[in-house]
Copies of this chain bind each other. A is one copy, B any other.
Amino acid sequence: MTPPAPLHLSLAGQAVDVLREQVLTGEIPTGSRVNEVEVAQKLGISRGPLREAIRHLASEGLLTLVPHRGAFVPDASPEDVRALFELRTALECAAAELAASRRTDVDLVRLQDVCAESRRNYTAGQPFPYRLDLAFHQTLIEAARSPYIAEQVRLVQQRVVLLRSALDDDPPHQHASLDDHDELVRAIADGDAARASTVMRRHLSRVCAQMITSLTH
């Protein structure tokens, strides 16, 4: 029996969740400003907790703060995307290596399951749900069992989601991603850390390039 564990989060905590959702879904559009009094009223809280929520999201990179001007939903240049993916690559390649050397059998099964479900959704001709891509990377991170890396990956993933102007992944790219995922799982199954890292790097390089082109068009 866990200790009580605050049944309701603090107002600031709730505000963080609501705002994060609104930012990530685009309900608060890119480039727009977050008005403190307005949003506070809309959430039914005062400005204090809302300010803390805004600061928190800013620390996650989901908002940028301008002194005396307020908080804005950031938009990214191609150069930003490239730099962000350098970070993501560093983190996820390390995670892939660790996963290859630490994975349990149930980790492996989970990864294979996600890949299988991805393929099922893909061959069904439906638009490949980004949800499954996230699930794959999430599962891989858990297999790496490195909490600090996991936390940073989560934050970077969020920023990537924020930049995803487009669900408009083209099928060829999706197909390549599925193959990458499968190859990653095989490398991890073999405990081949070097190959896992190499494949992850190639995978993310492709995703980055795809994202940049879809941003500039």
Contacts and interface: CB of A to CB of B under 8 A. Distances in A.
A149 B55 contact: no
B152 A152 contact: yes
Contacts of A146: 83, 86-87
Contact of A52 (B51, B86, B87): B51
Contact of A90 (B56, B59, B83, B149): B149
Number of copies: 2
Interface string A80-106: 000110110111011100100000000
A131 to B, nearest CB: 25
A52 B55 CA distance: 8
Contacts of A10: 67
Contact of A56 (B55, B67, B91, B94): B55
A6 interface: yes
Interface string A45-69: 0001001100110011000000110
A125 interface: no
Interface of A is mostly: helix
B148 A84 contact: yes
A147 interface: yes
A83 B48 contact: no
Contacts of A91: 87, 90-91
Nearest to A89: B94
9 contacts: A52-B55, A55-B55, A59-B59, A83-B146, A83-B148, A83-B149, A86-B149, A90-B90, A90-B93
Interface of A: 6, 10, 48, 51-52, 55-56, 59-60, 67-68, 83-84, 86-87, 89-91, 93-95, 98, 146-149, 152
Given A56-B59, A89-B94, 8 more contacts: A55-B56, A59-B59, A86-B94, A86-B146, A87-B148, A87-B149, A87-B152, A90-B90
Closest 3 CB pairs of A and B: A90-B94, A59-B59, A87-B148
